[in-house]
C-alpha cells in the first residue's frame, strides 16, 4: 500500500480528526504580551512536549513529558492540551527528608537490567517474551527546579524551602515558579530516537529533560501555543549538547545521538549524581553526571544558558537564556511541583503505558522532518489489541500511533526493530484502553532474565551520604481511567478497572548479592508492600493520583 506524505502538523491534524475522547474540559484563556525580547521560536522545535502547539511543529514524535493536573472552576480536573487529553502513567517512589540539601543534591546507584537472549514474542499476553522497551519507554529520576517563567509565574529562590506552595493537601496557592526535571534512561531495541524510543539495539542512553508549564496561578491563564515547553539534551561524555536543547531552537540534531553520547551496556552498574554545580564562567546551574562504574565511562550535562537552555516567556513563547537550578533545600512533603499530577520532588519512576506489541501494522503515512523521513503506521493488529475493544468508536483510545513493523530500519537510520509495535504518543499520549504490554504480567520476576527481562536494582538514594528518611508510593495512572473522576473515586484504582490483563507492576525491596535494593515489576524475592495495594487510593492532592501513606524508609532486615 502506498504511503501518503504529511508533515508533523498535518499528521497531528489527521490524528485530531480521529480522536474520540470521552473526557472534556474547557481550555483557560491564552495570555498575551507585546514584549518583543527573547529568542523567537523556529518553525520546528519543542514548544509543546505533547506536539500540539498551533505555532510550531514538534521535532520529535515520541516525547516522554510531565503529566499536568489542572483546575476548572476552582475544582481539580484533568489537563487538556489544545483539546487533547495528555495523561501519563508513572508509578514512582517519592523520597522524603528534612536533611539540608536533600532537595537539591541526590546520588543514585543502580544496575541496569538485562533482556532475554531471545527476541520478543507476540502470541500470548501475560506469557510472552518481553524486552524492557516494551515495558517502560523511559525510567527516570526526578527533581523540582526553580523557574520564575513556569507555573505559577512567580519568583523563586534556588535551593530554598520558601518556594513551597500553600493550601495543603491540594497545594493550589502561592509558591515559587516550578519546572520538572526528569533524568530519563532509554532502553535498547526500538530506534531511531528521533521518532522512536531507543538510541540503538545494544545500549541504554540517558538525557537531561526539563518540562515547564506556561500557566498562571490557579491555571487561570495559559498559553497553549507553548503550553509545555521542553529543554532536552543527551548525557554526553564531553558535556556538550549535540544540538540546541531549548524549546525554541531544538532540531533533528538535538535528538540524534553522536559518538560522544554516553552509551551504557545492559547489566552495567551506574552512579547518577544530580546537583547544583558551579559554572566555569560564574554562576550555578543544575548538573547531571553519570558514571558507568562497569566500563569506567562517564558523561554529564549542565542545564545552563551557555549550553543553550532557555526558559519560555508565557506571553510570546520566546526563549530566555536561563540557568536552571534546584528549587528546594529539603525534600519535605510540601516541597513539590504544584502543577504536576505526581507530587514530584526526589523521585524514581518508570514511565509505562506507551507500548503495544503487534503481529502486524497497517495504514502507513510518511513523517518528514528536515532531512529525516520515515514511514509511520497508524494501526496495530494482534492478540494485545484484540484483547480489548478496537480503537475508535466507544473506545477512549483513538489510535496507538506511531507504530512500526518488525525489522524496520527506518530507511537505514537504525538497527532493525526487534518486534512490531506502537509507542502510543500522538493520538492521546498513552494507552487509554490499557491493553498494551505494561498491563500484563510480562514484567521481571527475577534478578536474571528468563522469558522476562531482569529487574532494575536500585540502592537507596543518598544526599551527602545520608539516606532519605521517608518514602511514598504513588502513580498518576488513575487520571487516564475513564472510570475515575472527582465524584467517582471508587473507579480510581490499579489495575485499571476493566483492563484486559488485570495487572499493574509494583515496587519491591530485597537483599540481592549482599545489597538491599529497590526493584520494579512482579518480584517475589522480598517485601512487595502489598503489591498493587502500595498505591493505596485516590490522593487528596489530586483525584487522578493514587498514593500510599508516607512511611519510614525501610531497609532489608
Q: Where are the domains of the chain?
A: 1-557
Return the pLDDT at 33.
Answer: 35
Q: What is the pLDDT of residue 390?
A: 64
Q: From first to last of its 557 residues, what are the pLDDT tens digits of the chain?
A: 333 333 333 333 333 333 322 222 223 333 333 345 799 999 999 999 999 999 999 999 888 999 999 988 888 899 999 998 888 999 999 999 999 999 999 999 999 999 999 999 999 999 999 999 999 999 999 999 999 999 999 999 999 999 999 999 999 899 999 999 999 999 999 999 999 999 999 999 999 999 999 999 999 999 999 999 999 999 999 999 999 999 999 999 999 999 999 999 999 999 999 999 999 999 999 999 999 999 999 999 999 999 999 999 999 999 999 999 999 999 999 999 999 999 999 999 999 999 999 999 999 998 887 778 899 998 899 999 876 666 765 567 777 889 999 999 999 999 999 999 999 887 667 788 899 999 999 999 999 999 999 999 999 999 999 999 999 999 999 999 999 999 889 899 999 999 999 999 999 999 999 999 999 999 999 999 999 999 999 999 999 999 999 999 999 97
Q: Considering the entire predicted model, what is its pTM?
A: 0.93
The Cβ of residue 24 has, within 10 Å, a number of other Cβ atoms equal to 10
- 359, 351, 356, 353: which is closest to 422 by C-alpha? 356
State the CB neighbour count (10 A cutoff) for residue 7.
14
User: Quick check: 461 and 124 in contact, CB under 8 A?
Assistant: no
**Are the C-beta atoms of 138 and 124 separated by less than 8 Å?**
no
- The half-sphere exposure of 350 on its side-chain side, counting CA atoms within 13 A, is 24
343 close to 541: Cβ distance less than 8 angstroms:
yes
Pairing, β 44-45 against β 57-58? parallel
Query: CA–CA separation, 418 vs 420, rounded Å?
Result: 7
> How many Å is the maximal CA-CA distance in the chain?
62
Considering only CA atoms, give the Rg of the chain. 21
φ/ψ of 255, rounded to 5, equals -110, 20
**Which among 26, 28, 78, 65 has a CA at the least distance from the CA of 545?**
78
Amino acid at each position: 500500500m502506498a504511503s501518503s506524505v504529511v508533515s508533523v502538523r498535518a499528521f497531528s491534524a489527521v490524528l485530531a480528526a480521529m480522536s474520540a475522547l470521552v473526557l472534556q474540559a474547557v481550555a483557560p484563556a491564552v495570555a498575551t504580551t507585546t514584549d518583543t525580547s527573547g529568542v523567537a521560536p523556529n518553525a520546528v522545535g519543542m514548544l509543546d512536549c505533547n506536539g500540539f502547539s498551533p505555532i510550531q511543529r514538534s521535532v520529535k514524535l515520541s516525547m516522554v513529558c510531565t503529566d499536568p493536573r489542572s483546575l476548572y472552576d476552582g475544582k481539580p480536573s484533568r489537563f487538556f492540551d489544545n483539546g487533547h487529553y495528555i495523561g501519563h502513567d508513572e508509578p514512582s517512589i517519592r523520597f522524603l527528608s528534612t536533611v539540608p540539601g536533600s532537595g537539591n543534591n541526590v546520588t543514585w546507584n543502580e544496575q541496569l537490567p538485562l533482556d532475554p537472549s531471545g527476541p520478543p514474542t507476540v502470541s500470548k499476553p501475560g506469557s510472552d517474551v518481553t524486552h524492557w522497551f516494551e515495558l517502560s519507554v523511559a525510567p527516570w529520576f526526578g527533581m523540582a527546579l526553580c523557574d520564575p517563567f513556569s507555573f505559577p509565574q512567580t519568583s523563586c529562590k534556588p535551593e530554598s524551602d520558601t518556594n513551597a506552595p500553600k493550601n495543603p493537601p491540594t497545594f493550589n496557592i502561592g509558591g515559587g515558579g516550578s519546572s520538572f526535571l526528569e533524568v530519563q534512561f532509554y532502553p535498547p531495541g526500538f530506534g531511531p530516537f528521533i521518532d522512536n524510543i531507543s538510541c540503538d539495539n545494544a545500549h541504554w542512553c540517558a538525557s537531561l529533560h526539563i518540562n515547564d508549564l506556561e500557566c498562571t496561578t490557579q491555571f487561570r491563564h495559559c498559553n497553549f501555543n507553548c503550553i509545555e515547553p521542553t529543554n532536552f539534551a543527551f548525557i554526553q561524555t564531553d558535556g556538550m549538547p549535540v544540538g540546541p536543547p531549548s524549546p525554541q531552537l531544538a532540531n533533528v540534531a538535538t535528538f540524534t545521538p553522536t559518538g560522544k553520547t554516553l552509551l551504557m551496556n545492559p547489566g552495567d552498574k551506574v552512579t547518577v549524581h544530580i546537583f547544583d554545580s558551579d559554572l566555569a564562567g560564574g554562576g550555578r546551574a543544575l548538573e547531571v553526571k553519570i558514571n558507568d562504574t562497569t566500563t569506567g565511562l562517564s558523561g554529564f550535562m549542565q542545564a545552563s544558558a551557555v549550553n543553550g537552555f532557555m526558559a519560555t516567556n508565557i506571553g510570546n513563547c520566546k526563549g530566555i537564556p536561563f540557568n536552571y537550578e534546584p528549587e528546594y533545600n529539603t525534600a519535605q512533603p510540601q516541597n513539590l511541583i504544584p502543577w504536576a499530577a505526581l507530587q514530584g520532588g526526589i523521585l524514581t519512576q518508570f514511565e509505562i503505558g506507551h507500548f503495544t506489541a503487534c503481529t502486524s501494522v497497517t495504514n502507513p503515512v510518511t513523517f518528514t522532518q528536515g532531512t529525516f523521513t520515515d514511514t509511520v503506521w497508524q494501526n496495530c493488529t494482534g492478540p494485545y489489541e484484540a484483547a480489548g475493544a478496537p480503537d475508535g468508536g466507544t473506545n477512549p483510545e483513538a489510535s496507538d500511533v506511531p507504530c512500526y513493523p518488525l525489522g524496520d530500519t527506518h530507511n537505514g537510520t537504525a538497527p532493525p526493530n526487534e518486534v512490531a509495535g506502537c509507542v502510543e504518543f500522538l493520538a492521546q499520549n498513552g494507552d487509554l484502553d490499557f491493553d498494551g504490554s505494561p498491563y500484563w504480567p510480562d514484567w521481571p520476576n527475577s534478578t536474571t532474565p528468563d522469558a522476562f527481562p531482569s529487574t532494575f536494582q536500585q540502592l537507596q538514594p543518598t544526599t551527602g551520604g545520608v539516606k532519605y528518611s521517608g518514602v511514598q508510593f504513588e502513580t498518576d495512572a488513575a487520571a487516564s481511567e475513564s472510570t475515575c473522576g472527582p465524584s467517582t473515586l471508587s473507579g480510581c484504582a490499579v489495575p485499571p478497572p476493566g483492563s484486559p490483563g488485570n495487572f499493574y507492576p509494583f515496587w519491591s525491596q530485597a537483599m540481592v548479592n549482599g545489597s538491599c535494593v529497590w526493584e520494579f515489576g512482579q518480584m517475589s524475592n522480598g517485601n512487595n508492600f502489598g503489591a498493587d495495594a502500595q498505591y493505596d487510593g485516590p490522593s487528596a492532592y489530586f483525584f487522578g493520583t493514587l498514593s500510599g501513606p508516607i512511611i519510614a524508609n525501610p531497609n532489608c532486615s
